[in-house]
Each structure stands twice: as C-alpha cells, then as structure tokens.
Structure 1
C-alpha cells in the first residue's frame, strides 16, 4: 500500500508540475542561440525580439551567436541543451529544412530533437538586374534564357537563392547558370558592374538599390505581393502558378521542454508580433512578421521538407 501511495503521489506531482513551471517561468535569464554571425538578418531580428521578451517576461533574454556549417553548429548545441526553457534556438529554413538534404551527415535531427514554438517571420527572394537590361519581367528573362542560353549567369549569394534558381530551371526546363557568392556585398557589386546579368537575393539586401534606381526587380518569390517591396510583381503572378520560395525564422526549444513553457513562449511572442510598432520595425529589418501556433510551425516545416527534398535531390545539390 505504501508503494501504491508513493506512486500515486509521484504521478500527481507530474500532473501539477507543468502548470507550476509555466507560472514561475522564466525564473532566470534565457539564452537564444542564433546559429549565424552577429549582424546577419536573423541575428538582428532576434536581438530586437529579445528586448521585447525581456520587457514582457521580466527576465533577460539574450542572444548567443554560434555560427558555422550553415547553422548546424548552433542548432546542434541547442539540441543538446537541457530541455527546461532556458535555451531557445532561432531556427531557419536552413537548419530545419534544407541542411538535412545538403549535408552528408547532420549533428541533430530537426524533427526529433526540437519542439516548435512559433513561426517568427518570413522573407521572399527577388530577381534583380540592371536598369539597362533588355528584360523587364520574368517572362522576358525566361525568353532570353531559352533563345540565348549561354548569355545569362545569375549571382547566388545564399543557399536559398540557389534553390530559387534550381526550382525555376526545373519548372521551366531552362539551364540558367548560377554563380555562387559568399554574401550579398560582392554579388551586388558584380551585378551593378555588369559581371553578372542577374542576381537573386533577399528584399532587405536589395531594396535600397531598387529604390535608388541602381537595380530593377523582375519578380519576388512570395505567392502574394510582399509588404517588403510594394508594387513589385510576384513570380507566381507572371505565369508560374504556385511558385513560392521563402526564407524564414522560427523559434524552437529542445525536445522535452515542458509544454506549458512552450505555450507560454508562444503566447508572449504572438502578442509581441501582433504589436503594430513591432511589425513595422520587422518590416524595416526585412522580415514579414508571422505568428500562429506551435503545431502550425510544425506543419509548415513538414511541408517545406516535402517540397525541397525532391528538388535538392534532383539537382544533386551539396553544401559548399
């Protein structure tokens, strides 16, 4: 009887543990691992949101950068952390979708090792060219690619940019050549200098050049017109129905983190992301604010894996 009573007490303590954890959480500082260099887009947006979480939750939320291997180093550290809500990861479409298809081995499992919290933001890519280029739309570019297949080369400063071009080539039966770049700085310089004909990059990296007339946009890769670049047509609206490529940021915690903590983080971030001044600031930083439930982030990431796994396999793409 004593053993049964002890077991019953233990089960009861487990049932009451999560609400109590949620009520007291956070009781100390919380680190958010960003698996990229300081100053990069995900890092800047995460630091901004960390300030708001600090104000909302009464404890310091701070960013710790752990860059390398396309985000895998930082994500692996987060996966190994104690599942108590005091280590978070700002994951991306790289860490939680693309890398498992690009790298021969992974130091973590993006599904099994993490619990999703909330989709924080997304941002489309944009096709760019010089103002004097003989094409003013994506159909113009595709005609050029088919009539003069050797005349086009496209600067690709990121893995997501590589995938945009690969998806275009696969859907349109073109063979536009991509030239890898390490970051946007050199690729923009080469595009404006005429060393490459086209570039694919984020809106945040390119919109100042578009606004000043130094570059022109041929199409953005969101399904709907992006608030980041009003007035620019989408690729989907130019004849490629359903064409969508988004980079994105989503908050994750190590698998096993109490669900009550996950729910509290989701609720607080949802409130923050709904604030007009926060939404405006994220747009200024090049991010379209998102939101939703943890389950919605899980389903979204799953759909992304189903989409990009076959594309990467067909192209034979590997990490640089």
Structure 2
C-alpha cells in the first residue's frame, strides 16, 4: 500500500489520482477520484481499470506499454464516460512508480470541463455574434430587391392582356414571398417573450404529447423529471418550440441510424453555480435531451447552431439556430456533447426569484 504520509498528501489534492498494479487493478484512489466516480474506496479496491469507467478515450495500449518501458506520458482532453452516462473531460498524466518491488502506475486526472466550457462558450458567442451580423447584412441586401421584384411583378400582372402570362407573374410573386419568409426565419424570432412563472415540465409535456403520436420509427421515449425544480420565468410557447426543435433533431437522427433500440430521453435536474455567458448563475433548471444515434460529425460540431448548417440532406439547418435564439431570449444557453452512440443537448435556464425580471 502507499505510505501513510504519501497518502495524506494525495488525499488533499484537487487532482484525481488512481494507482493501478501490473494486473491493471486499482490499488489506491484519492478523495477527488472517489468523488468523481461516486464510489467508495472498498468498492474500488482491486477493481479492473476497464470496469471503473463505461468508456474512456485514454489509449490503453500506452498504459500497458508503460509498465514495460517505465516511461511516463500525458494525454490532453481525455473523454471519460461514467456508468451513470455522465461525460467528463480530463488532462491525464501517467507516471511509473516502483512501490517496494511492485511496479505500478499513478494516473493523475485534472478535471477541465468547466474551463473548457467557458473557453468554448466565449468562442462560440463571438462566432455566433459574427454569424448573426453577417446574416442580418445579407438579409437587408436580399429583402430590399425582393420587395422591388414583387412589386414590379404585381404591376406587370395588371398590364397583361393574355391571362396565360399571369402564371409567370404569379410564380415571381410566390418565389419572392418564399425567399422573404426564408430570410425572416434566418433572422430568427424577434418577438419579446411573454413571461410568467411556470414549471419547466409544462412545455416539456406538451412536446412529449406531440412526439409520442408522431413516432413512425418506434423510438423509445423516456422521461426522467425532477419534480423539485422551482417554477421559472418563461414564455412557455417559446420554450416548447425550442425543446421541440431539439427533440425532433434527435428523432430524425435516430430514424436514420442503425441503433438496435433507438432511444431518446428527456431529463430535468437542478444545476447550481453554473456559468452562463461569463456570469455565475446560482440556480438553474437543467434540461438534458439525449439520443443514442450516430452522433454529430466533428466537422460541423462547432457551427451546428449556425443557420443553414445541417447533417440531413433535406434539412434547412434552421431548427437548432431558432432553438438557440429562443433559449437566449430566456438568458439561458445550450451545451452539446456528442460521440458515436450518444448525443446530448443540455439546456440551462436561470431560476429567478418571483418579482425579479429575467432581463435585469
């Protein structure tokens, strides 16, 4: 076992520490590691490292090789999925140690999810702001001539003597209206939310009622609600539309997947001291929408919420963009975690005390 004074130092580290023997069994875990794994030291002792996590992107071949070469190594941004399906990210260092003739490896894992999310959120906000400015500029340049084209077609229709030619002016007017509507959708919803205190489960149940009757792929739909979540200030219709867009996105992905049992789950929980747009929010309602589909390609993950970005051949890429705008109207945000077999959108909505305006 690790010497007592060494153990005392490790117990006070914020970094999670595991020590494994040559049989790849855990022989020590410090307090931080036990917290992340939500287990006890007795349950973890002698457990094979492969059974500690449901999934880990850490190269296991390098761990085995480290015993023979006695060389240390590090890997950044290692993804670890716990048995409760929670996904965490760590910077990992592996160090060879000889404990009284017993070759072992000390695995140090520094949790980086919070700093990674803050960095990603800052970058995404800057990118989204630039994209919105670009879209608004393009919309202005498109809508002005469209109005002129439509008006000219209407005047031309009044001058035509041959009724058969009216078909062409009608087509011009129809396509002009279609393009104008598309531009309006690209700009996103501009209506001011009509806010009132309500439970987050109200719009979620409305979404569930819609999708359970429109489920041709027989997707298993699960709900896991926390009834203790306080009411929040919301526009129920706006949130229903946002949740519906995300849920339909998941169901469409499952319909095109090869999952043996396609499953979509809607979960609600409380989140404390979460950072939204650089500010710590004491209390949030957290809505997770999970599916076990093919995952989102890394090539579009960073731009998925941009208008016209879609993984579907016939998709217009507006559903998630609109959902994000609606969540932003509630001072919330959307996080995304995706890999093959698991995609999870997590929506955070601040919980305000009654009498406090959401936009204050």
Give the TM-score of the pair, scaled to structure 2.
Answer: 0.24
Tell me which structure has the larger Cα radius of gyration: 2
Kindly indicate which of the two structures has a greater share of residues assigned to helix.
1
More strand by share: 2
Provide TM-score, normalisation by structure 1. Answer: 0.26
